[in-house]
């Protein structure tokens, strides 16, 4: 019974992450990280695994947006080199940041995002 609940929780989490990613462009990590923690992954692995999940969801979103003609490739590609540099830096920092600080930073990012969305 526990395995069945876990299976459906993962399925629903995946669907919700995909919907958020498709609507907001990568919002699924906000759901994926806490759920991965709930399934027993430690914080660093939860964040890293979430990136892998979001990567595949983002690829699918890019394909969908491309077919709809909603994607501005020139604008998107202008961010890529800097995003890659930031991703490498973030991955290197993840190894050095204590789990307690990582949780606080993640919570602060979610909180700031929520305030920005609600009031700006």
Residues present in the chain in total: 120
What letters, b where the CB count within 10 A reaches 16 and e where it falls short, cover 73-95?
Answer: eeeeeeeeeeeeeeeeeeeeeee
Q: Provide the residue ranges of all domains of the chain, joining segments of one domain with +.
A: 2-119
First to last CA, the chain: 45
pLDDT of 102 reads 86
Flag whether pLDDT at 25 surpasses 80.
Answer: no
Q: Percent of the chain beyond pLDDT 90?
A: 26
Contact 28, 57 (CB under 8 A): yes
- Give the residue-averaged pLDDT of 13-36: 82
pLDDT tens-digit readout, 85-99: 998 999 999 889 998
Global pTM value: 0.74
As a whole number of angstroms, the distance between CA 34 and CA 46 comes to 8
């Amino acid at each position: 019974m526990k395995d069945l609940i876990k299976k459906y929780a993962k399925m629903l989490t995946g669907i919700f992450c995909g919907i958020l990613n498709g609507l907001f462009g990568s919002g699924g990590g906000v759901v994926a990280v806490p759920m991965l923690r709930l399934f027993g992954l430690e914080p660093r692995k939860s964040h890293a695994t979430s990136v892998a999940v979001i990567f595949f969801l983002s690829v699918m979103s890019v394909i969908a947006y491309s077919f709809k003609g909603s994607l501005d490739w020139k604008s998107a590609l202008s961010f890529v080199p800097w995003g890659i540099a930031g991703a490498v830096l973030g991955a290197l920092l993840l190894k050095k940041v204590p789990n307690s600080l990582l949780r606080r930073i993640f919570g602060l990012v979610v909180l700031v995002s929520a305030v920005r969305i609600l009031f700006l």
